[in-house]
Structure 1
């Protein structure tokens, strides 16, 4: 029974995320989610106390996507800058293709309409980029003139700014081309040997994936209060 309830909850979460992304928080009702999921409103309220709690759960599931992705895409035995680029492509694809990530992103943008405390974005990404740049410094991959702390902030600002523009202009359909252009600009300034730019970018883009051994990674479920 518990397993069935967990499966129902997860399906509901993904359906709600898709509708929140398409219609926004205000434009999506519990009835809409029920119709799309095949559940009654009562069944939805069994899992979530109200629409705000459901929205919060979608945003939390969005955030829960990242720790495993970070670990998988930037292993300690790989070049650190290549890991950073590889991670950026995996994240970009998630924002383009994953309904929970897309729904969570839109909901956070509409956070002032939601009566719930939502996680704070970006600070974790800045810390992750800083850690990878510090590792690149230790391994001699990073240009000596680069300050890891300042570079981490600038990279995350540029990366998520690019997402905003790409979403507005093409619904992120061109996100990988946009990201390639961004790294062509950034990598020569970051790498101790700028001649490695093309090889680093090619390996990272090819290696980034949302799967492990060809099997989809199960999504982390986040319980609502």
Structure 2
């Protein structure tokens, strides 16, 4: 019984994420989710009080993807700035390929039309980037003019702005190329001994073996 209930919740949430991403919140109905998930509306309402709660559950799944991804990259044996760049590519691939991540991002953008409180989106990212910049400073690899508290917010703002632009232009198909251009611009201001091409070459060459 518990396994069947868990299967239903997974199927409903997967269908909801797909539809919320493809159609948006307002255009998606419980009937649409019922049809795609092959579960009755009654079964959906048994697990979720309504469409608002489903939307929040998808956004929560979006945020739940990040801690393990961050932890895996924090444990990679590489300098802090390289780990930051590696993490950025993993996040970019998730935004391109993971339906929960993509749906969560769209729902957050549409949050004013959803009558439910959503988790805050960027505070943990800012803290993560600030921590990595602090590590780079401790290693002696951070540029003298860089300031972790100030620059973490700027980097997160620019990074997610890049995602918004890439989504609008080509649904993030070229996100990794655009991210490479982003780091060619940013790294000379962050590296104590600027060598962005060498760092990016190492990261891109190792793409196939990076933690996903």
TM class by smaller structure: over 0.9
**TM-score, normalised via structure 1 length:** 0.90
**Distance in structure 2 (CA, Å) of the matches to 1:133 and 1:154:** 12
Whichever structure has more helix as a proportion of its residues is: 2
Contact 1:83 1:204 (8 Å CA) reproduced = no
Unaligned runs of at least 5 residues, structure 2: none
Is the 1:85–1:204 Cα contact (8 Å) retained in structure 2?
A: yes
- Per the alignment, in what secondary structure is the counterpart of residue 46 of structure 2? helix
CA distance in 2, matches of 1:22, 1:211: 28
Question: Equivalents in 2 of 1:57, 1:206: separation in Å?
Answer: 36
Answer whether contact 1:85 1:205 (CA < 8 A) is retained: no
Q: What TM-score, normalized by structure 2, do the two folds share?
A: 0.95
Q: Distance in 1 between matches of 2:72 and 2:167?
A: 26
**What pairs with 1:171-210 in structure 2 (closer than 5 Å)?**
171-195=171-195, 197-207=196-206
RMSD of aligned Cα (Å): 1.6
> 1:91 and 1:153 mapped to 2: Cα distance?
17
The question of 1:45 aligning with 2:45 is answered: yes
1:86-131 Cα distance to aligned partner (Å, 9 max, x none):
1100001101100000011100100011111100111111110000
State the shift of 1:205 in Å: 3.4
Are residues 106 and 137 of structure 1, via their aligned partners in 2, closer, same or farther at CA, if it must alter by over 3 Å? same
What is the match of residue 221 of structure 1? none
| Native 8 Å contact 2:96 2:173 kept in 1 | yes
Once structures 1 and 2 are overlaid, which stretch shifts more, 9-18 or 88-97? 9-18
- Equivalences, count: 212
Unaligned stretches of 5+ residues in structure 1: 218-225
Report which stretch shifted further, 201-210 or 68-77.
201-210
Is 1:33 the counterpart of 2:43? The answer is no
User: What CA distance in whole angstroms lies between the structure 2 residues aligned with 1:211 and 1:141?
Assistant: 22
Q: Which protein, 1 or 2, shows the higher relative CO under an 8 Å CA cutoff with sep ≥ 6?
A: 1
Alignment of 1:28-177 (within 5 A): 28-75=28-75, 77-177=77-177
| Structure 1 residue 210: Cα displacement | 9.5
